[in-house]
Amino acid sequence: MRHLIDIMDLSVKELDEMIEVAKDIIAHPDQYAHKCDGKKLATLFFEPSTRTRLSFEAAMYELGGNVLGFSEAQSSSAAKGESVADTVRTVGAYADIIAMRHPKEGAPVVGIRRSTVPLINAGDGGHNHPTQTLTDLLTISREKGKLEGLTIGLCGDLKFGRTVHSLINAMSRYPGNKFILISPDELRIPEYLKYETLEKQHIEYVETDDLEDAMPQLDILYMTRVQRERFFNEQDYLRLKDSYILTPEKLENAKEDLSILHPLPRVNEISVAVDDDPRARYFEQVRNGKFIRMALILKLLEEAKA
Ligand code: CP
């Protein structure tokens, strides 16, 4: 049974193929409208979500399938103490594929041990968010026409931001990419990522706290929210939450073809005045999330059939 827990579960060839399928869905949506007739997706969300849950649901509906699930742990039997493994096994009796978000790192790994259907990690704690990364890859590919030879600035909460971790892992697999990691000292990327992914593979990267200094070099600026829900104390969050606020003035030295991305939700880190800048691509990124999730559902259901 094929699942998706980590972006590294997919080979580069598979990533490229899924991106092509997503682009084909965008170009020819009618050809995909009945691909999942009679199939059901379960969305098990133990943690809040707008984009991931609703884009999965929209994706399955647009493939002709149906959706069931819950959007908070309190409305499931998890509130009575049921384990993730039992929940996943139970839901496998009702659905053909599962997308699960959970606040605990590693919960999807526990889930797949008992799952009888493909399980997709829709975000586990501060760890991974592979379908956001698929969304980001499709967006970068559509914006830049390539996934290699890019200078990518990641800015904000690089410690707890799970989308950042998955994106660094994914973009490190394409040649010639360089990372500029922009954060306060306390919110730098985890050491394991720095050593295991970047240094071991001799990938060029710089750590800095200066967004404006980095700006002129960037092809992609990936802004992130400071992850309040992962902080142990509120004072630290309040001190760090507005470390970076992107404004039109800060973009004055940016490239004309910069693409500004953000996994969303945003809080303060991108001023709404930036939204009208043609380089702001984060709402297009939201749209791409549905198409790449359609491609993922098709792939996993096809493999489950084989
Ligand atoms: N980007 C993302 O995961 O958004 P949601 O938390 O709204 O799903």
pLDDT score of 230: 65
CATH topology of domain 7-129+289-305: Rossmann fold (3.40.50)
Q: Which one of 43, 45, 52, 227 would you pick to mutate in the ligand 1 pocket, going by the greatest count of ligand atoms within 8 A of its CB?
A: 52
Could you tell me what percent of the chain has a pLDDT over 70? 98
Q: With left for phi above 0 and alpha for psi between -120 and 50, is residue 154 left, alpha or beta?
A: beta
Question: For residues 126 and 251, which has the higher predicted lDDT (pLDDT)?
Answer: 251
pLDDT band at 238 (very low <50, low <70, confident <90, very high): confident
144 is catalytic: no
State if residue 50 touches ligand 1 by the CB under 6 angstroms criterion: yes
pLDDT average, residue stretch 287-295: 98
Is there a catalytic annotation at residue 293? no
Does the CB atom of residue 132 touch ligand 1 within 6 A?
A: yes
User: Is residue 52 in contact with ligand 1, taking CB distance under 6 Å?
Assistant: yes
If we measure between CA atoms, which residue out of 119, 134, 184, 131 comes closest to residue 155?
A: 184
Ligand 1 near 265 CB (within 6 A): yes
User: How far apart are alpha carbons 272 and 275 in whole angstroms?
Assistant: 5
Cβ atoms of residues 115 and 1 within 8 Å: yes
The answer on pLDDT for 232 being more than 70 is: no
Average pLDDT of the chain is 94
- Average confidence (pLDDT) over 247-261: 97
CATH topology of domain 130-285: Rossmann fold (3.40.50)
3-state secondary structure of 155: strand
Q: What is the pLDDT of residues 137-161, one digit of tens each?
A: 999 999 999 999 999 999 999 988 8
Across residues 17-40, what is the average pLDDT?
Answer: 98
CB 131 within 8 A of CB 293: yes
Which segments of the chain belong to CATH 3.40.50.1370?
7-129+289-305, 130-285
Position in ligand 1 atom list of the atom nearest CA 53: 8
Q: Across-strand partners of 101?
A: 45
Average pLDDT on 129-136 reads 96
CA-nearest of 143, 123, 146 to 133 is 123
pTM, full prediction: 0.95
Best residue among 49, 128, 167, 286 to mutate for probing ligand 1's pocket (most ligand atoms within 8 Å of CB) is: 49
* Ligand 1 contact via 130 beta carbon (within 6 Å): no
DSSP conformational letter for 35: T
Res 239 pLDDT > 80 = no
Report whether 221 contacts 261 (CB < 8 A): yes
In tens, the pLDDT along 84-103 reads: 999 999 999 999 999 999 99
Which positions ≥6 away from 76 have C-beta within 8 Å?
A: 44, 46, 70, 82, 87
